[in-house]
Amino acid sequence: MLIYANPRHAGHSGRQEMYRGRLVPCHEVPARLEHVLAELARRPLGEIREAPPVARALLEAVHAPRYLRFLETAWQQWVALDPANAELDALPSVWPVRGFRADLEPANFAARLGLYSFDAGTPLTEGTWAAAEAGAACAAAAASSLAGSGAPRAAVALTRPPGHHAGADFFGGYCFVNNAAVAAQALREQGARRVAVLDVDYHHGNGTQSLFYERADVLTVSIHGDPRTEYPFYLGHADETGAGAGLGFNLNLPLPAGTDFAQWRAALATALARIAAFAPDALVVALGVDTYEGDPISRFRLASGDYLQLGADIAGAGLPTVFTLEGGYAVAAMGTNVVNVLEGFEAAAR
């Protein structure tokens, strides 16, 4: 497989996130990706490349132009308010919920930060935009690499910040640009008639679902902690099946906290059967490993060894596959768990 690693990821390094009334150290840290790279050095799975810049038109096919303009200038605006802000992260604290206007972009920076976000757990830092844009470039390059004869069976966008919680015009859940959606859109634009996105992160892929909810050309499937008790809470229920032309092209498989691998794997079989019935030309896997039993903010019970089987099961779909890196907050186990998925996929895809 081909691996596109984000060279700018460490520039996004949040200091603190809001959690239950206090600011706590960020869970989504640069060391997550460094552990994956270190494990890939021990267990090489393919060439690691740097991606060319991502086309703005591709980003604008996924995200609202005014949202992208906000992200790329947000840090400068934050520091312009007060030079002392350079030593702080920008964290939103006010939001336009039901009945407020979201069509107008406020002049006030805090109000704009709230307009384009949905939680206070996602700090925007000096290097956030550069990291997010370079991550989208990895996703686009991974998709492109699957086209043509002699293409590899799989490509990986090894990047952070993650992407699956980011919607057309909002960030949150540690995500800014939706890399899985960028990969799916790129696959469509290069000729795939239908693309499936399979989200195996512990948390529902609300951003990806919302981006494709009214489209029949991209099937979105997510296996995740039941949103009645698990983040992101307000989306991810089983009765969300798509709308308009996309009706029937979204499948949510929420599972209770405490789910073990046998239960989880049964849901994966359901997901893969739906994907097979859709008969896509390519698959995007939003790969979070926060389903791990040692994850500090999630509550499934997958063991490190289970990820080999998870990768093999996904390879059984027989599809050209892009992996995008999403969550996983047991930092020291991150390398083993991610590389296990990829190694399991490779062994079964041969």
HSE, side-chain direction, 13 A CA sphere, residue 10: 6
Give 152 or 205: the residue with its C-beta nearer to Zn ion: 205
* 82: CB partners within 8 A, 6+ apart: none
CB of 296 to Zn ion, least distance (A): 12
Q: How far from the centroid of its chain's Cα atoms is residue 232's Cα?
A: 13
CB of 231 to Zn ion, least distance (A): 8
Give 138 or 289: the residue with its C-beta nearer to Zn ion: 289
CB of 329 to Zn ion, least distance (A): 8
User: What is the SS3 assignment for 56?
Assistant: helix
Q: Can you read off the two tokens belonging to residue 192? A: 């795939």
The span of 45-53, 78-86, 120-128, 202-210 binding Zn ion (CB under 5 A) equals: 202-210
What whole-number distance in Å separates Cα of residue 77 and Cα of residue 74? 5
User: What is the SS3 assignment for 97?
Assistant: coil
Annotation says 165 is catalytic: yes
SS in 3 state form for 92-111?
A: CCCCCCCCCCCCCCCCCHHH
Residue 290 binds Zn ion (CB under 5 A): yes
* 84: CB partners within 8 A, 6+ apart: none
CB of 285 to Zn ion, least distance (A): 14
| Residue selected from 30, 242, 288, 335 as contacting Zn ion according to rule CB under 5 A | 288
Q: Which of these, 168, 83, 170, lies nearest to 124 by C-alpha position?
A: 170
- DSSP states along 185-207: HHHHHTT-S-EEEEE-SSS--HH
Please answer whether residues 195 and 216 qualify as being in contact, where contact means their C-beta atoms are separated by less than 8 angstroms.
Answer: no
Residue 327 binds Zn ion (CB under 5 A): yes
Q: Which residue is catalytic, options 165, 203, 204, 224?
A: 165
HSE, side-chain direction, 13 A CA sphere, residue 177: 36
Give 193 or 228: the residue with its C-beta nearer to Zn ion: 228
Q: How many CB atoms lie within 10 A of CB 110?
A: 15
CB of 214 to Zn ion, least distance (A): 24
Count of residues in contact with Zn ion, rule CB under 5 A: 6
Give 295 or 346: the residue with its C-beta nearer to Zn ion: 295
Helix (H) or strand (E) holding 36: helix 30-42
Nearest residue to Zn ion, by Cβ distance, number only? 327
| Residue selected from 202, 212, 323, 345 as contacting Zn ion according to rule CB under 5 A | 202
The span of 62-70, 87-95, 196-204, 248-256 binding Zn ion (CB under 5 A) equals: 196-204
CB of 326 to Zn ion, least distance (A): 6
Please answer whether residues 326 and 201 qualify as being in contact, where contact means their C-beta atoms are separated by less than 8 angstroms.
Answer: yes
Give 8 or 203: the residue with its C-beta nearer to Zn ion: 203
The span of 130-138, 188-196, 251-259, 327-335 binding Zn ion (CB under 5 A) equals: 327-335
The span of 57-65, 126-134, 194-202, 253-261 binding Zn ion (CB under 5 A) equals: 194-202
Give 154 or 175: the residue with its C-beta nearer to Zn ion: 175
> Active-site residue numbers?
165
Binding site for Zn ion (CB under 5 A): 201-203, 288, 290, 327
